[in-house]
Amino acid sequence: MERTLSSQSSEHAGAGTRSGVWLIALGAALWGVDPLFRILLLKFFTSSQIVLLEHVLLMVYSVPVLWIYRKTLKGLTWKHIAALLFISWGGSAIATIMFTSAFAHGNLNGVLLLQKLQPLFAILMARWILKELLPGRFFIVVIMALAGTYLLTFGASFPFDGASSFGVAGGLLSIGAAALWGGSTVMGRLLLDKMPFETVTALRFLLALPLLLATTWVNGDSWHWPAQTGDWFAVSVNLLLQAFLPGLLSLLLYYRGLSGTKASYATLAELFFPAVGVLVNWVVFHQGITFAQIVGFVLIWFMLFYLSRQQDGKSVASAAVQVN
């Protein structure tokens, strides 16, 4: 009887986490379609205005969800409050503004390259804050993930045309965004031990609003709403899609997967978004795919498969120990 219970519990635990890495990858894939909507919006609004409008729209989701799950907010410690402020102010507001602003101070390749530092920040913070133990071959997987992401983004070429093409300001902004997003992965994992993923997602959006309002007001940039009916319709559709696809849906998938996945594993699964970026460039902008990018795509997929198997093995072993 004990063996049967152990086997059933192991299968249940494995099934619960088997999809975790892939849900995170799917959420990250939706981030890859972000430029399709954001490029048009930047013709009319500043980066802080766009992020503010997104979060205002997402109140449609956040307010009802927080009312439904209001009981889960009881008993929050200062540690949980600090984590909430980190993911909402840092990850949802400041990092997005910094990432968008970095493009104005340096070249696109440089900004994207420095974003590959995000897993390193997350892994270090997961080890420090969550006390996560890393398997012996984990850093080989890290190197594989970073190499695959590099090849997907830049192919076999060196990303810089020259040292002067990427300013100090652009570099600092990009690194800052990578650190905040990496830290948000760790803080999100911490919060998911206290509350459901729906609540974490809603609080991330809602708590960012005061900071975004203050930032937009301090910047003092005037609002340039579209004058033509066609432009107004296009901007409205893009804003809605931006808010609810790479905004809401991606984070719901992401936090659902993160609830059963190590933060150090999750941050590598997030690197799946360049694969979608390459696919979007190929389908929408008719940019060819090189052999180096195909190799990078294979490396990313192999890394995700390896991580999902690692999660499986640890979950089965943990469930067997708990039952016995």
- Could you give the 3-state DSSP secondary structure of residue 59? helix
Report pLDDT for 224: 87
Report pLDDT for 245: 92
Instruction: Report whether pLDDT(146) > 90.
Output: no
Report pLDDT for 14: 40
Report pLDDT for 110: 64
The predicted-structure confidence for 152-190, as pLDDT tens digits, reads as follows: 777 777 665 544 445 677 778 888 988 999 999 999 999
Is residue 188 within 8 A of residue 126, CB to CB? The reply is no
The predicted-structure confidence for 20-40, as pLDDT tens digits, reads as follows: 889 999 998 898 788 788 878
Range in 9-23, 98-112, 225-239, 309-323 with the lowest mean pLDDT: 309-323
Instruction: Report whether pLDDT(16) > 50.
Output: no
Phi, psi of 95 (to 5 degrees): -65, -40
The predicted-structure confidence for 258-307, as pLDDT tens digits, reads as follows: 998 889 888 888 877 767 767 776 777 676 777 887 888 888 888 888 88
- String of DSSP letters for 127-193: HHHS-PPPPTTHHHHHHHHHHHHHHHHHTTS-S-S-GGGB-HHHHHHHHHHHHHHHHHHHHHHHHTT
Across the chain, mean pLDDT equals 81
For a pLDDT cut of 70, what percent of the chain falls above it?
80
